[in-house]
């Protein structure tokens, strides 16, 4: 049965946040979800700090007008740069993807271990992961590598192309001799390249996909705030993009097996 409950709003620069959406949907089948992909302005990782904050606040404001009960920033770049701003403007709980990923990484990294964070230019330049990791455990050694080609390659659906493997090898080969314990996929697009990354880094490196960790954090926050939808409710989904709804639907199906029935367009 459907219920009169407010939705959870999830947003990303494009397709990447669908990894978070999928994890939240599987964990919380009773919730109403609204997903916004800013496909007109993807990628965020090459944009200025001011632009990312402006875009993120614009989308968060739009979701708040939709009466969401929570905002999930399913984008590492937006989380690293705009999370405090969005928390200040929102009257509802706000969850990013960095803190859940950090906690998941530290849970599998030995004391004094080495963690490699790969992300967009903006995320790496912010050092948001390094700061968050060291706040909890100053003993770990953190290395960071920007992989700016990964997002456009995923958005093109080129996850299994040789050009993607070549780019990954170029980015990651300097770390093969560094005895990395844990690698954080510091962008929600990157889980779609996890196989490529694992083939290069080897089976001994633990790879953290923050999508599932974020889904658990969302559930925890909703429980704490007494906002969880009753289990008897039937979850619903709304997909909204800022451009190219057809391409979004095709890529969502090809990359994640999702089949959005109707994708709305909202242009800013």
Tell me which of 95, 147, 187, 233 is the catalytic residue.
187
Tell me which of 3, 75, 147, 233 is the catalytic residue.
75
Q: Is 187 a known active-site residue?
A: yes
Backbone angles phi, psi at 132, to 5 degrees: -65, -40
Those residues whose C-beta lies under 8 Å from the C-beta of residue 26, and which sit 6 or more positions away, are 215
Rounded to a whole number, what is the distance in angstroms from the first to the last CA of the chain? Answer: 34
Report CA dihedral (105, 111, 116, 117) to the nearest 10 degrees: 40
Report CA dihedral (28, 227, 15, 252) to the nearest 10 degrees: 40
Residue 105 CA: distances (Å) to CA of 30, 102, 108, 185: 29, 5, 6, 10
Whether residue 184 contacts residue 190, with contact meaning beta carbons closer than 8 Å, is answered with no
Q: HSE, CB side, 13 Å, CA atoms: give it for residue 17.
A: 32
Whether residue 172 contacts residue 200, with contact meaning beta carbons closer than 8 Å, is answered with yes
Residue 261 CA: distances (Å) to CA of 32, 220, 236, 238, 246: 15, 29, 11, 9, 11
Nearest residue to 21 (alpha-carbon basis) of 72, 92, 95: 72
What stretches of 159-209 show up as alpha helix (H) in DSSP? 162-172, 194-201
Q: Is 75 a known active-site residue?
A: yes
Active site residues: 75, 187
């Amino acid at each position: 049965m459907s219920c009169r409950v407010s939705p959870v709003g999830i947003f990303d620069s494009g397709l990447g946040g669908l990894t978070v959406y999928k994890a939240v949907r599987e964990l919380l089948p009773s919730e109403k979800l609204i997903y916004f992909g800013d496909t007109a302005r993807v990628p965020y990782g090459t944009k200025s700090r001011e632009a990312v904050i402006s875009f993120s606040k614009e989308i968060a404001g739009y979701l708040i007008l939709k009466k969401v009960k929570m905002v999930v920033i399913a984008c590492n770049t937006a989380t690293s740069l705009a999370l405090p701003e969005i928390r200040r403007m929102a009257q509802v709980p706000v969850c990013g993807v960095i803190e859940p990923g950090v906690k998941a990484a530290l849970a599998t990294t030995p004391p004094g271990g080495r963690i490699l964070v790969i992300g967009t230019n903006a995320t790496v330049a912010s050092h948001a992961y390094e700061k968050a990791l060291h706040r909890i455990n100053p003993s770990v050694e953190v290395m960071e590598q920007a992989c700016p080609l990964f997002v456009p390659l995923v958005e093109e659906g080129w996850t299994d192309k040789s050009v993607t493997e070549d780019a990954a090898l170029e980015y990651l080969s300097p770390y093969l001799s560094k005895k990395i314990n844990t690698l954080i996929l510091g962008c929600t697009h990157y889980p779609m390249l996890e196989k490529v990354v694992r083939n290069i880094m080897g089976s001994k490196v633990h790879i953290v996909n923050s999508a599932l960790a974020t889904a658990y954090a969302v559930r925890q926050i909703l429980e704490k705030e007494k906002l969880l939808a009753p289990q008897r409710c039937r979850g619903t989904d709304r997909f909204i993009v800022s451009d190219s709804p057809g391409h979004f639907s095709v890529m969502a199906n090809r990359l994640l097996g999702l089949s959005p029935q109707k994708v709305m367009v909202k242009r800013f």
